[in-house]
Amino acid sequence: MGYYVSLREAEWLIPTENLDKAYEVMCDLNKDDSLKSGGSSTGEKWFAWMPADYPSECKDAQSILVALGFEVKLSDDGLHITGYENKTGDESHFIEAIAPFSQNDSYMVWQGEEGDMWRWELQLMFGAGDNAYNKLVPKEAMIVWK
């Protein structure tokens, strides 16, 4: 079982010059078992729906995001996250990790199988240009019918 979610809207870009850094931080996540929600009765831990040793199987940021269940598109300006329609896993840890290396106006609008909606967006914390630091900010949706 799992909770199915989909991206209703996404404008998320990892600029080309940041793809190697994004890959490195996503690989580094594998060192922290406390973040992992998948595992076995023998104590082995992994990120949900991911191979336990994904850094050896996924050789770039694009392949890690695809393994997580994201639909992506590579263009001249970088890697765009364009979709997701799957069970939830540990994708939030990965998106939070790549936030500092993503374009500062990036966002994703999610919808769960029961209709609830939420948005992840980047907030510029400090700096500008190459020295900018973005933080992932989750927001809840409130739908009002009039």
Cα–chain center distance at 125: 19
24-78 confidence digits (pLDDT tens): 999 999 999 999 999 888 989 999 989 999 999 999 999 999 999 999 999 999 9
Tokens of 16: 């080309």
25 three-state secondary structure: helix
Residue 103 pLDDT exceeds 60: yes
2 three-state secondary structure: coil
Question: Between residues 43 and 19, which one has the greater pLDDT?
Answer: 19
Residues 6+ apart with CB under 8 A from 4: 85, 86, 87, 88, 112, 113
Give the max Cα distance, the chain.
54
What is residue 127's predicted lDDT score, i.e. its pLDDT? 57
- Could you tell me the pTM of the whole model? 0.88
What is residue 125's predicted lDDT score, i.e. its pLDDT? 67
Percent of the chain scored above 90 by pLDDT?
71
Q: Where are the domains of the chain?
A: 4-140
Q: Phi, psi (5° rounding) for residue 92?
A: -60, -35
What is residue 1's predicted lDDT score, i.e. its pLDDT? 42
Residues 6+ apart with CB under 8 A from 110: 5, 6, 7, 8, 84, 117, 118, 119, 120
Q: In what order do the strands lie in the sheet with 107-112?
A: 70-75, 78-87, 4-15, 107-112, 117-126, 133-140
What is residue 129's predicted lDDT score, i.e. its pLDDT? 53
- What number is the average pLDDT over the span 4-13? 95
Q: Rounded to whole angstroms, what are the CA distances from 92 to 98, 131, 144, 146?
A: 10, 24, 27, 33
Q: Report the range out of 1-5, 63-67, 88-92, 134-138 with the highest average pLDDT.
A: 63-67
Residue 135 pLDDT exceeds 80: no
Q: Please state, rounded to an integer, the average pLDDT across all residues of the chain.
A: 89
Question: Between residues 68 and 142, which one has the greater pLDDT?
Answer: 68
